[in-house]
Amino acid sequence: MTRGAGRALSYILLLVPALLAAQPLQAPQPSPGLMPNAARGKALYDRNCASCHGAALQGTEQGPPFLNRIYEPSHHGDVAFQLAVRNGVRAHHWKFGDMKPVPGLSADEVAHIVAYVRSRQRLAGIR
């Protein structure tokens, strides 16, 4: 390897942890080692999200369905859920208007909700 290439590589190796470390500043992080539980997530979802996203995740007049390719994990990763709950969402995919932040949910509780949503998406063939 040339000296220049070696130096470029070491810069990249220095950058990666910095980029990974920047993430927790932006999105709430579930506790290390948490085992997200879809059954707990369902109860939390029913109480906090179903009024807009639908009891069967099919959407309502106030919010979009999660059983939609738009929300597959590669397009809206788990972090998108943490951010949506904490900060709300500016309307951008649909015409329902903005989503307000949902107060009173911990990052762990949101992780349970995500586990529930993902399990239902998998059943619907959205993965």
Residues that bind ligand HEC (CB under 6 A): 48-49, 51-53, 62-64, 76, 80-81, 84-85, 89, 91-94, 96-97, 99, 102, 105, 113
In the complex, least distance from residue 7 CB atom to ligand HEC, rounded to whole angstroms: 38
In the complex, least distance from residue 58 CB atom to ligand HEC, rounded to whole angstroms: 14
**Do the Cβ atoms of 121 and 46 come closer than 8 Å?**
no
**Do the Cβ atoms of 57 and 65 come closer than 8 Å?**
yes
**Do the Cβ atoms of 28 and 86 come closer than 8 Å?**
yes
In the complex, least distance from residue 25 CB atom to ligand HEC, rounded to whole angstroms: 18
Complex with ligand HEC: residue 43 or 84, whichever CB lies closer: 84
Complex with ligand HEC: residue 36 or 64, whichever CB lies closer: 64
Distance CA 45, CA 30 (A): 17
Distance CA 24, CA 39 (A): 26
